[in-house]
């Protein structure tokens, strides 16, 4: 009897979700952004969700749950009801580097989520202080080889994009500069501009204004194409460095078990937002890179997460950059 009640309950539950999926959304959707308001991921989430709200006919409310390199917010989002009313904006760190950095991570990026789609990425640049004794990437790499540990590399804390991409950079060029940690990109850039530290790798959103203002030098951008925001900065490949192409991607996920119909509705709304001229322009103005047609599906995002976890884990573990 108990079994039957359970089965019945499950059936009713299923039917209910079916109806839910058709009428979804009937109330505001919460999107958890696992970083403080105002950072690159938050800005991208707000720009995209602004347009998505109009398509869905319900407001998407951003909730910033920062902490532990974004894993606090993602853990909470992953454990919430899979009904489509709690979604999240994950990124390269939370869904790529985190398993290597946090051994006690309470979620598996490849298994515990229903991917919605890729939103926008921000390319990584290799930047140095104004007085750095080199003017192009080649000169920089030569200097790194000659000086090794004497060079100071800044980053925005363990688990940050600048930290992961910086460790990756060091492993590609086989150098071991001295790492100097800051709490966030702002203070790190401040010391870079003051010539206190030598170089760092960071997202275009953060460094472009200082490059344009002549306060720091840019050696290369780690993408396949140059950025329209900084047309004079060569790509790593053009500058003669192979194997360092990296961007801080941001993507939307729902908790595992979210009905596929709801995921599709959200993906459609996301794709529509990315096609909107105004939204596109706002993202491009930030120096963002938008996913191409084939990269926008939930399946493509699942593949991306799998390849990113496979890419970051060995690099970060080799560098001993584990958070415990």
Partner 1 sequence: MGDLFSNLSLGFGVALTLQNLGLAFLGCLVGTLIGVLPGVGPIATIAMLLPITFGLDPTGALIMLAGIYYGAQYGGSTTAILVNIPGEATSVVTALDGHQMARQGRAGVALGIAAIGSFFAGTVATLVIAALGAPLTKLALVFGPTEYFSLMVMGLVFAVVLARGSILKAISMILVGVLLSTVGTDLETGEERMTFGLPFLADGIDFAVLAMGIFGIAEILRNLDHTESRDVVRQAIGRLLPNRDDFKQAYKPVLRGTLIGATLGILPGNGAVLGPFAAYTVEKKLAKDPRRFGRGAIEGVAGPESANNAGAQTSFIPLLTLGIPPNAVMALMVGAMTIHGIVPGPQVMTRNPDLFWGMIASMWVGNLMLLIINLPLVGMWVRLLKVPYRLMFPAILMFCCIGIYSINSLPTDVMFIGLFGLVGYMLMKFGFEPAPMLLGFVLGKLMEENLRRALIISRGSLDTFIDRPISAGLLLVALVLLVLALLPSIRKGRDEVFTE
Residues that bind partner 1 (CB under 8 A): 36-39, 42-43, 46-47, 50, 61-68, 72, 101, 152, 157-159, 178-184, 186-187, 189-191, 193-194, 196-197, 205, 208-210, 212-213, 215, 282, 285-286, 321-324
For partner 1, give the closer residue by CB, 191 or 268.
191
Token digits for 73? 């917010």
- Nearest approach, Cβ of residue 241 and partner 1 (Å): 26
Query: Shortest Cβ distance from residue 154 to partner 1 (Å)?
Result: 9
Contact by Cβ (8 Å): 173, 141: yes
**How far, in Å, are 92, 132, 153 from residue 195 at the CA level?**
29, 8, 12
d(CA 314, CA 240): 24
Which residue, 211 or 222, is less far from partner 1 as judged by CB? 211
Cβ burial, residue 77 (10 Å; 0-12/13-18/19+): buried
Residue number, 70 or 291, with CB nearest to partner 1:
70
CB of 229 to partner 1, least distance (A): 9
Q: How far is the CB of 87 from partner 1 (least distance, A)?
A: 16
147 vs 307, beta carbon nearer partner 1: 147
By beta-carbon proximity to partner 1, the closer residue of 197 and 266 is 197
- In 3D space, the residue among 240, 203, 233 whose CA is nearest the CA of residue 219 turns out to be 233
Helix extents (H) in 98-184: 98-101, 137-147, 161-173
How far apart are CB 165 and partner 1 at their closest, in Å? 16
DSSP string computed for 290-308 = PPPGGGGSHHHHHHHHHHH
């Amino acid at each position: 009897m108990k079994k039957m009640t359970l089965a019945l309950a499950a059936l009713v539950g299923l039917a209910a979700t079916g109806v839910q999926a058709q009428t979804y959304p009937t109330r505001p959707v919460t999107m958890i952004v696992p970083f403080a308001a105002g950072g690159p991921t938050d800005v991208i989430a707000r720009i995209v969700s602004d347009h998505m709200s109009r398509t869905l006919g319900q407001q998407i409310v951003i909730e910033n749950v920062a902490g532990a390199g974004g894993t606090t917010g993602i853990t909470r989002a992953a454990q919430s009801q899979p009904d489509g009313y709690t979604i999240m904006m994950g990124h390269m760190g939370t869904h790529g580097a985190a398993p290597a950095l946090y051994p006690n991570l309470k979620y598996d990026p490849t298994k515990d989520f229903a991917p919605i789609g890729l939103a926008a990425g921000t390319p990584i640049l290799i930047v140095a202080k104004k007085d750095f004794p080199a003017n192009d990437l080649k000169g920089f790499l030569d200097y790194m080889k000659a000086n090794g540990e004497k060079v100071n590399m800044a980053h925005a804390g363990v688990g940050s994009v600048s930290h992961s991409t910086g460790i990756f950079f060091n492993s590609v060029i086989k150098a071991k500069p001295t790492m100097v940690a800051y709490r966030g990109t702002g203070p790190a850039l401040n010391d870079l501009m003051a010539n206190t530290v030598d170089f760092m790798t960071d997202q275009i959103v953060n460094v472009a204004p200082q490059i344009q203002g002549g306060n720091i030098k840019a050696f290369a951008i780690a993408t396949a194409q140059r950025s329209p925001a900084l047309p004079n900065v060569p790509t790593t490949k053009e500058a003669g460095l192979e194997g360092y192409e990296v961007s801080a991607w941001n993507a939307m996920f729902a908790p595992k078990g979210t009905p596929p119909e709801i995921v599709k509705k959200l993906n459609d709304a996301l794709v529509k937002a990315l096609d909107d001229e105004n939204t596109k322009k706002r993202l491009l103005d930030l120096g963002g890179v938008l996913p191409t047609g084939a990269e926008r599906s939930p399946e493509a995002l699942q593949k991306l997460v799998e390849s990113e976890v496979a890419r970051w884990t060995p690099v970060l573990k080799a560098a001993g950059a584990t958070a415990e």
